[in-house]
């Protein structure tokens, strides 16, 4: 029996929500370990659509415990709103099925404002953030001045912590000629919601240790994708946290020895939302068609995603960086109508061929993809649940992709529906 970590192997939006929900039917515990409410998951269960932003995907299933780990940054008001929204869909969120790490940092109103100020001032150099305050909150965490969940337990402690963080932020706001925040006003707002947040607060690391002793199956749920990792992604066009699977241990308080199978969710083509380099982007009718058929709009922001051919070089690189054991290939059916399908197998930079993504942002913008072409299958794959029933050309594409990236395709998704999945190997039973 293994615990499983699920991460995106591209720039996010690979269809993790469906796969996590599919796996959570076997898991006992589902843990979010990084990111915030900038990362959305769309789940389709019995034709009912759930759009989650901060809550782990396991929350929609009875008998599962969902956890936000210490590596997650939490907007407490957004969290309470999301809990109310999902309650209206018939999902009950209680301290018995949901818990928050008491050491998780809180996103406060000035974090979101700072995010907006920076993006608006960046002009052409915009990172493309979701303007949710994620980055500024992580900065305060690293700067040892963030307000954490546990700080809500003591009004006197909260008073001291707020004074510390506002000393930093109000100095910047004055320099930018923005209105400064009053400590007592913010403290009053936080104390008002404190009881609703604190009822979920637990020493998550200790609870996870208990669950492991009880041999519970734990599913660690990543947000975004590895190419948005603050160390290993297309820096500076990245998120503010580590999105690699190793963060599952750090962001939950669970030892790395407790991580078993690492599953990389991988789209059969490539998408990216926001700014940044995208070697295989298609700014033509094919790209538009992929976007329409794949319904490529962000769950959280509704922003249109940029679309392009599958970049085998990038996925092979993220597999090596993260130690991915198997790939869940999603949205294969989006390619059904294409006459020809391409896969990037190499880059050209300044007249030379290279087989990896260079670290310098300037080089990332200037590389040119070198493609291998495959004939399309021109027939419907949507809803197929057995690999033998796939068209021959679809199988050739899948096996070539598997061979190039160097990781086994463990499952293939042929529609947003949970049941429309071809299972090659079960991560929990290997």
41 catalytic per annotation: yes
DSSP 283: -
Q: Tokens 């301290």 identify what position?
A: 95
Catalytic residue among 37, 41, 169, 232: 41
420 is catalytic: no
Q: Which two tokens stand for residue 234?
A: 């297309």
Can you tell me whether residue 417 is helix, strand or coil?
coil
Closest CA to 272 of 222, 337, 320, 227: 227
SS3 253: coil
Place of tokens 């260079």: 358
DSSP letter assigned to residue 296: -
* Sign of the CA dihedral with 176 first, then 182, 183, and 185 last: negative
- Is residue 167 classed exposed, middle or buried when 0-12, 13-18 and 19+ CB atoms within 10 A define those classes? exposed
Residues β-bridged to residue 297: 304
Rounded distance between C-alpha atoms, residue 242 and residue 223, angstroms: 10
Annotated active-site residue in 13, 21, 311, 420: 13
**Pairing between strand 261-267 and 4-8?**
parallel
Q: How far apart are CA 201 and CA 101, in angstroms?
A: 6
Q: How far apart are CA 294 and CA 350, in angstroms?
A: 34
Supply the residues annotated as catalytic: 13, 41
């Amino acid at each position: 029996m293994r615990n499983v970590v699920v991460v995106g192997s591209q720039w996010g939006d690979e269809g993790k929500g469906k796969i996590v929900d599919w796996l959570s039917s076997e898991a006992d515990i589902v843990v979010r370990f990084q990111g915030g409410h900038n990362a959305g998951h769309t789940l389709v269960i019995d034709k009912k659509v759930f759009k989650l932003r901060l809550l782990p995907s396991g929350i929609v299933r009875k008998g599962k415990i969902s956890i936000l780990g210490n590596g997650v940054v939490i907007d407490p008001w957004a969290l309470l709103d999301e809990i109310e929204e999902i309650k209206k869909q018939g999902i009950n969120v209680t301290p018995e099925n949901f818990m928050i790490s008491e050491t998780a940092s809180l996103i406060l109103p000035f974090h979101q404002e700072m995010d907006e100020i920076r993006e608006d001032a960046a002009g052409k150099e915009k990172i493309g953030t979701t303007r949710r305050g994620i980055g500024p909150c992580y900065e305060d965490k690293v700067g040892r001045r963030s307000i954490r969940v546990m700080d809500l337990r003591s009004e006197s402690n909260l008073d001291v912590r707020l004074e510390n963080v506002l000393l930093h932020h109000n100095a910047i706001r004055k320099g930018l000629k923005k209105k400064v925040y009053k400590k007592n006003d913010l403290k009053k707002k936080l104390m008002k919601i404190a009881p609703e947040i604190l009822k979920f607060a637990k020493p998550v690391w200790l609870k996870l240790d208990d669950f492991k002793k009880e041999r519970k199956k734990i599913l660690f749920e990543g947000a975004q994708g590895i190419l948005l990792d603050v160390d290993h992604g297309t820096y500076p066009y990245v998120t503010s946290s580590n999105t690699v699977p190793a963060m599952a241990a750090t962001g939950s308080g669970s030892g790395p020895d407790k991580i078993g199978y690492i599953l990389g969710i991988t789209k059969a083509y490539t998408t990216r939302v926001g700014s940044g380099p995208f070697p295989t982007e298609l700014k033509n009718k094919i790209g538009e068609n992929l976007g329409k058929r794949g319904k490529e709009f962000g769950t959280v922001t509704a922003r249109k995603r940029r679309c392009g051919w599958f970049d085998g070089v990038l996925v092979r690189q993220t597999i090596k960086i993260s130690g991915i054991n198997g790939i869940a290939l999603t949205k294969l059916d989006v390619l059904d109508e294409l006459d020809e399908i391409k896969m990037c197998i190499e880059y050209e930079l300044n007249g030379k061929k290279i087989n990896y993504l260079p670290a310098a942002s300037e080089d990332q913008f200037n590389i040119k993809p070198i493609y291998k072409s495959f004939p399309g299958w021109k027939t419907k794959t949507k809803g197929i649940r057995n690999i033998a029933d796939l068209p021959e050309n679809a199988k050739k594409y899948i096996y070539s992709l598997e061979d190039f990236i160097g990781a086994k395709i463990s499952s293939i998704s042929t529609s947003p529906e949970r049941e429309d999945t071809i299972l090659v190997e079960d991560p929990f039973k290997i």
